[in-house]
Amino acid sequence: MNSTALTIMCLMPILAMINMLFNQTHFLMTLLSLESITLSLTLFVPLMLMNCSAANTAMAVILLTFGACEASLGLSLMVSMSRSYGSDMLKSLTSAKC
């Protein structure tokens, strides 16, 4: 694997976390950022295990399983939030409604 691809693979989790920090207006954008973090870690962890010559390839399957559980939980929370508050804006969760 060439060094450019390795550099991009190493920067993907960091860029996904930065994306999550700056896109916190809608709940759907936050969920998409979490999914990009999960996907980048699914690609990043086996690559790093391969570089360390570790034989643990089941970590990618475990990360994909957690990613699927996180996606289903996040979508169910978004549906219940949009039904309760009428939108998926994260500001509607923190505003006091007296």
First to last CA, the chain: 58
Residue type, 54: A
Residue 57 lies in a domain: yes
- CATH code, 42: 1.10.287.3510
Residue 56 lies in a domain: yes
> How many structural domains comprise the chain?
1
pLDDT tens, residue order, the chain (98 aa): 667 877 877 788 888 888 888 877 888 888 888 888 888 888 777 777 777 776 666 777 887 888 888 888 988 988 888 888 787 787 776 655 54
Cα–Cα dist 53/57, whole Å: 11
pLDDT score for 91: 74
pTM of the model: 0.70
For residue 25, what are the domain limits?
Answer: 3-84
Residue 94 lies in a domain: no
Residue 15 lies in a domain: yes
Residue 96 lies in a domain: no
pLDDT score for 45: 78
pLDDT score for 55: 67
pLDDT score for 57: 67
